[in-house]
Amino acid sequence: MGKSETELLTESIERLKHERGAVLLVHNYQIPEVQDIADFLGDSLELSRMAAETDAEVIVFCGVHFMAETAKLLSPERTVLIPDASAGCPMADMVDPVSLREFKAKHPGVPVVAYVNTSAATKAEADICCTSANAIDIVNGLDSDEVIFVPDCHLGSHVQERSDKRVILWEGWCPTHVKILPEHIQQAREAHPEAVVIVHGECPAPVRALADEVLSTGGMVRFAKQTSAKEIIVGTESGMVYRLQKENPDKVFHSIHIAVCPNMKKITLRKVAESLEKMQFEVDIDHDIAQRARGSVERMLQASR
């Protein structure tokens, strides 16, 4: 019996990775077979740190465009590839540098915290970046009574609930996480009464209020390992459940199946192999934008150590 297409592509990727001196960074929301080939699998903060520390010549980023840009900011001398150039982020597109400059002018002197889910050009207009894992600590660590938080109003409101500062919200949101409604959580609890509920900070407040824990995807990984609960309802992008189940075979994870990010599902094994073979879809950032954006990301990493 011959090898499957998945096996053949995996072997090809391993060979090409060796030839190119490449490392594969893969986000938790990627499809299972792409998660399985990761050199490093994580959330955006973990992957940012990995990008900054790698000595690989080539970084292949299996995620969406802003993540690959962040890797390029932190490893400017490396070649950064994204296997599908059209894998974008609608929330990141909800804020742009021109609109942000106009917004800042209405709130002079107020520092801007940019969620990492933004373009490099937007990060260049911010004072510091954050991820869902460190947003509360970043905001609370700033020497200001007010902060502007872009672009996710839901994560921003979650931060506001845990901060004495005034958090000025931008009206952006994740189209995938806003699909999760309170009734989805209630139905899941009725179906699985013994389960605990964990949801992402990008979920709207009524959904967060029904959860036992509000966590980043990295936080979900840690929670799943440490909890004594044997059943967990997972309120985030559906790809997360594959990793949680794989790493915790003694527990049962229930996905909110409506939460699927089409952009996160664009990257396939074939596209990874083609990206490495042809060295295609390289991420490049304007030098001036990169310098300013890099400062915002590096300040986040320093504050998170």
Integer angstrom CA distances of residue 289 from 81, 125, 147:
19, 9, 22
Contact 176, 260 (CB under 8 A): yes
Cα(38)–Cα(147) distance, integer angstroms: 36
- Note the pLDDT of residue 305: 77
- Tell me, yes or no, if the two domains 5-86+265-278 and 92-173 fold the same way: yes
For the record, the structure tokens of 281 come out as 């879809």
* pLDDT tens column, 138-152: 999 999 999 999 999
- Note the pLDDT of residue 44: 84
Among 96, 136, 103, which Cα is nearest to 118's?
Answer: 96
Cα(93)–Cα(151) distance, integer angstroms: 9
- Note the pLDDT of residue 45: 78
Q: What is the mean pLDDT of residues 250-265?
A: 96
- Phi then psi for residue 149, to 5 deg, are -120, 120
Cα(177)–Cα(184) distance, integer angstroms: 12
| Banded model confidence at residue 48, pLDDT cuts 50, 70, 90 | confident
**What topology is assigned to 177-255 in CATH?**
Rossmann fold (3.40.50)
Alpha helices (H) along the chain? 5-20, 32-35, 44-53, 65-74, 97-106, 120-123, 135-141, 153-160, 182-191, 205-208, 217-226, 240-247, 269-278, 287-303
Q: Is the pLDDT of residue 273 over 90?
A: yes
Contact 235, 213 (CB under 8 A): no
Domain range summary for the chain, segments of one domain joined by +:
5-86+265-278, 92-173, 177-255
Per CATH, the homologous superfamily of domain 92-173 is NadA-like (3.40.50.10800)
**What topology is assigned to 5-86+265-278 in CATH?**
Rossmann fold (3.40.50)
* pLDDT tens column, 188-244: 999 999 999 999 999 999 999 999 999 999 999 999 999 999 999 999 999 999 999
Tokens 């990010």 correspond to 261
What is the crossing angle of helices 287-303 and 65-74, to 10°?
Answer: 90
Cα(296)–Cα(68) distance, integer angstroms: 16
Q: By percentage, how much of the chain surpasses pLDDT 90?
A: 95
Secondary structure (3-state) at 114: strand
Mean pLDDT of the chain: 96
State pTM to two decimals.
0.95
